[in-house]
Amino acid sequence: MPSSTVSVILPGLCAILLIIVTITCDTPKPPDLPMDPATHETEINQWHEKRIASLTAQSGWLNLSGLFWLEEGVHTFGAHASNDLAFPEGKAPDHMGSFLLNDGKVSIKVNPGVEVLNDGIPVTEMDLVVGTELTHGSLSWFVIEREGGRKAVRLRDSEHPDRQSFNGIDRYEINQAWRVGATMEAYDPPKMLTVPTIYGTVREQPSPGVLVFEIDGEEYRLDPIDGNRLFIIFADETNGRGTYGAGRFLYVDPPGPDGTTVIDFNKAYNPPCAFTTFATCPLPPKQNRLQVAVIAGEKQYEGGV
């Protein structure tokens, strides 16, 4: 080969090698995931215990007894069926009072002789900001706000039969194969996800980037919702065939300085709507519907709706 040809080829090869090395160095790799099986099993079981404790708590999802969307105007409430908001029979007086929604603000007026408490103090009239809790016997209720400023009254019963009869949630066997490394490809600027809800609205939620990972050598992607921990709403091929039909939830730690994190599908769990019709669950964005069966995490709740 002529020396002039060699002198042209060698710089070209060096440039190509330099590009390859640069790309390799700049692209983060998913973390190695060595973990003692017993340690991993303990971690998952402890997580599950906390999950069950939260689910069955007074503030958990098993004691929801009503969800009443408010329109502008007056709404009567009580146990009698003639009320606009019918509370459980036997748990409340027939006619307790009324809610007023006026220009986006909610207030309550309690009928004479009816005991309604706020932090143990009797209430006759009161403006209700979101989250202000009122009680009567085993019942408690408060105002929630959803997309577009829409208001509703959420009702709980600490003696709800679903809470009393709860007997756990079946899970798939803990399997480290479903603890996978993931790389985040950042969105710049952060992307707004269109997240549908079970009651027909959509939410716009920020996502810092897409998580890229492999299962059995195939690449998959999930868009998480930003927060102190990343929140993933996903669907997979077990939905309706072993797991809740509308998908599951999962939290993961944000990526470290190297851009990597761990997705442990053993911590995939049922959304509130698997337990009650009175929740306002988000549904998986279309890009978070995995074409694979994720045989890990919580199964369909047998006592569910």
- Rounded to an integer, the average pLDDT of 96-107 is 98
Confidence of residue 34 (pLDDT cuts 50, 70, 90): confident
| DSSP string of 230-271, one letter each residue | EEEEEB-TTBTTTB-TT-EEEEEPPP-TTSEEEEEGGG-B--
- What local confidence, expressed as pLDDT, does residue 35 receive? 87
Least confident segment among 31-40, 201-210, 215-224, 225-234? 31-40
- What local confidence, expressed as pLDDT, does residue 23 receive? 35
- Rounded to an integer, the average pLDDT of 240-266 is 97
Residue 137 in this model has a pLDDT that exceeds 60: yes
- What local confidence, expressed as pLDDT, does residue 63 receive? 97
Q: From CA 250, how far away is CA 275, in angstroms rounded?
A: 17
Tokens 């042209």 correspond to 8
Residue 304 in this model has a pLDDT that exceeds 70: no
Residues 262, 232: contact at Cβ < 8 Å?
A: no
Confidence of residue 24 (pLDDT cuts 50, 70, 90): very low
Long-range contacts of 144-148 (CB under 8 A, 24+ apart): 144/280, 146/197, 146/201, 146/280, 147/197, 147/201, 147/202, 147/203, 148/201
pLDDT tens digit string along 139-172? 999 999 999 999 999 999 999 999 999 999 999 9
Confidence of residue 305 (pLDDT cuts 50, 70, 90): low
SS3 166: coil
List the domains of the chain with CATH numbers. Answer: 37-57+168-288 (no CATH), 64-159 (2.60.200.20)
pLDDT tens digit string along 8-20? 444 444 444 443 3
Q: How many residues does the chain have?
A: 305
pLDDT tens digit string along 167-218? 999 999 999 999 999 999 999 999 999 999 999 999 999 999 999 999 999 9
pLDDT tens digit string along 270-294? 999 999 999 999 999 999 999 999 9
